[in-house]
């Protein structure tokens, strides 16, 4: 067994904190002393900054990316009897919220960019369809020009799931500012990560924004007067203050992620047995994950067993990795009632057997990147 002296983690959020420790500690102590812990001017200040960063008029902060999606569906009055089209290759939260509002998720296959196959999106539209949720997976933007054209021709709402793509652009627009609503997660390992849970919703529609503000606070505009069944999904002032600091560094960190992705690409894209991730020409991705596919030896691509054996060999060489995601959503136990069959969305089903997400975080050193590349080449002979 080859054991590396310095293991390379899949992600490392402690390093980012150590570089910002003085700035972050100062604002946290200030807020602790202020006694204003939930909502308030610090949260409003962050909302303004986040809206300005995205070139939109409205930002509503909330408790998580999941809540951002849930509240968005609620604000659009989507519920029982409605269908919402989304990708089968994403984190469960994207679809879970569709079910949580009582609507039906309609899962569509992906293409080799890991994102929605837009032809299949168009084919999945029915009279019951109310919205599409494109996910900019791993930080790579969906072709929003084509997606918006499909949505507009059927008068459908578009809720962008930007949980993994804060700062990515399509054309000259930030993701989250192109659809009707953008949903963001500040989970600590995201490109803009807080020190706990957090989320935000962006829009240019003031009516939607004011509905969201009511829904996130128990359906109440005036204290103790409740107009709707809402939820408690407010952002803490400490999180907002930390996120406001980190937002100033985001473009820089995303640039570092892009440089790492370019370096990986340079050395991995020609290696037999590896399919390197693609980037569409119209967008600039932000590489929340750098996810390769292991093509395997057979004509039908790799098996999960073979992929797992490659990961095991990487681990033995000190390189940690992740599998996002091992099972597409249409085949998840919770969605058996929807009646999807194995083989129905074949691209995602196969890709789930092949993906390995390599170490990716802005502070990853050149030496660590070389170690990952060397280990992979070594494993694949």
Ligand X SMILES: Cc1ncc(COP(=O)(O)O)c(C=O)c1O
Residues binding ligand X (CB under 6 A): 64-66, 90-91, 93-94, 135, 161, 163-164, 185, 187, 197, 199
Least distance (Å) from ligand X to the CB of residue 273?
27
Task: Tell me how many degrees the CA angle 71-76-80 measures, rounded to the nearest 5.
Answer: 90
Is 302 exposed, middle or buried, given 0-12, 13-18 or 19+ CB atoms closer than 10 A? buried
> In the 8-state DSSP scheme, what is residue 373?
H
Helix (H, G, I), strand (E, B), or coil: what is residue 240? helix
Nearer to ligand X, 94 or 239 (CB): 94
Report the 10 Å Cβ neighbour count for 262.
11
Least distance (Å) from ligand X to the CB of residue 103?
17
Nearer to ligand X, 83 or 161 (CB): 161
Least distance (Å) from ligand X to the CB of residue 337?
22
Least distance (Å) from ligand X to the CB of residue 375?
26
Nearer to ligand X, 88 or 90 (CB): 90
Nearer to ligand X, 16 or 66 (CB): 66
Least distance (Å) from ligand X to the CB of residue 92?
8
Least distance (Å) from ligand X to the CB of residue 3?
31
Helix (H, G, I), strand (E, B), or coil: what is residue 359? coil
Q: How many residues would you count in the chain?
A: 381
Nearer to ligand X, 91 or 107 (CB): 91
Nearer to ligand X, 11 or 187 (CB): 187
Tokens of 290: 């750098």
Least distance (Å) from ligand X to the CB of residue 1?
33
Nearer to ligand X, 66 or 369 (CB): 66
DSSP codes of every residue in 127-171: TTEEEEE-B-GGGPPP-HHHHHHHHHHTT-EEEEE-TT-TT-EET
Output the furthest CA–CA distance in the chain (Å, rounded). 67
In angstroms, the CA 132 to CA 83 distance is 9
Nearer to ligand X, 317 or 330 (CB): 330
Least distance (Å) from ligand X to the CB of residue 135?
5
Least distance (Å) from ligand X to the CB of residue 110?
13
Report CA torsion sign: 176, 182, 186, 187: negative
In angstroms, the CA 356 to CA 29 distance is 40
In angstroms, the CA 235 to CA 63 distance is 5
The residue nearest ligand X at its CB is 65
Which stretches of the chain are assigned E, i.e. beta strand? 58-62, 83-87, 104-108, 129-133, 157-161, 169-170, 173-174, 181-185, 199-203, 220-222, 225-226, 274-275, 283-284, 290-294, 355-358
Nearer to ligand X, 206 or 326 (CB): 326
Least distance (Å) from ligand X to the CB of residue 104?
18
Report the 10 Å Cβ neighbour count for 136.
28
> In the 8-state DSSP scheme, what is residue 233?
-
Report CA torsion sign: 132, 83, 333, 303: negative
Nearer to ligand X, 47 or 376 (CB): 47
């Amino acid at each position: 067994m080859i054991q590396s002296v310095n293991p390379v983690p899949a992600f490392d959020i402690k390093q980012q904190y150590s570089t910002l420790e003085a700035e972050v500690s100062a604002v946290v102590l200030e807020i602790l002393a202020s006694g204003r812990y939930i909502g308030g001017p610090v949260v409003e200040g962050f909302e303004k900054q986040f809206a300005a960063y995205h070139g939109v008029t409205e930002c509503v902060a909330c408790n998580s990316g999941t809540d951002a999606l849930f509240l968005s569906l609620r604000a659009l009055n989507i519920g029982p009897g409605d269908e919402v089209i989304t990708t089968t290759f994403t984190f469960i939260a994207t679809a879970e919220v569709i079910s949580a509002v009582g609507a039906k998720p309609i899962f569509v296959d992906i293409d080799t960019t890991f994102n929605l196959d837009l032809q299949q999106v168009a084919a999945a539209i029915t009279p019951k369809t109310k919205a599409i949720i494109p996910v900019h997976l791993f930080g790579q933007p969906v072709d929003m020009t084509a997606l918006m054209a499909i949505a507009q021709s059927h008068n459908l709402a578009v809720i962008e799931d930007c949980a993994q793509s804060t700062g990515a652009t399509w054309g000259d627009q930030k993701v989250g500012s192109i659809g009707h609503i953008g949903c963001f997660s500040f989970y600590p390992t995201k490109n803009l990560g807080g020190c706990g849970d957090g989320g935000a919703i962006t829009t240019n529609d003031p009516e939607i924004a004011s509905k969201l503000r009511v829904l996130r606070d128990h359906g109440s505009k005036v204290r103790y007067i409740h107009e709707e069944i809402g939820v408690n999904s407010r952002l803490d002032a400490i999180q907002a203050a930390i996120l406001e600091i980190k937002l100033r560094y985001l473009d820089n960190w995303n640039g570092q992620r892009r440089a790492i992705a370019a370096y990986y690409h340079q050395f991995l894209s020609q290696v037999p047995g590896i399919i390197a991730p693609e980037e569409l020409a119209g967008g600039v991705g932000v590489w929340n994950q750098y996810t390769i596919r292991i093509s395997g030896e057979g004509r039908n691509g790799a098996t999960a067993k073979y992929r797992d054996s490659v990961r095991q060999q990487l681990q033995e060489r000190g390189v940690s990795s992740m599998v996002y995601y091992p099972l597409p959503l249409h085949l998840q136990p919770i969605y058996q009632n929807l009646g999807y069959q194995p083989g129905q969305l074949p691209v995602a089903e196969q890709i789930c057997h092949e993906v390995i997400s390599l170490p990716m975080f802005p502070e990853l050193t050149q030496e660590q990147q070389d170690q990952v590349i060397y280990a992979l080449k070594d494993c694949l002979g």
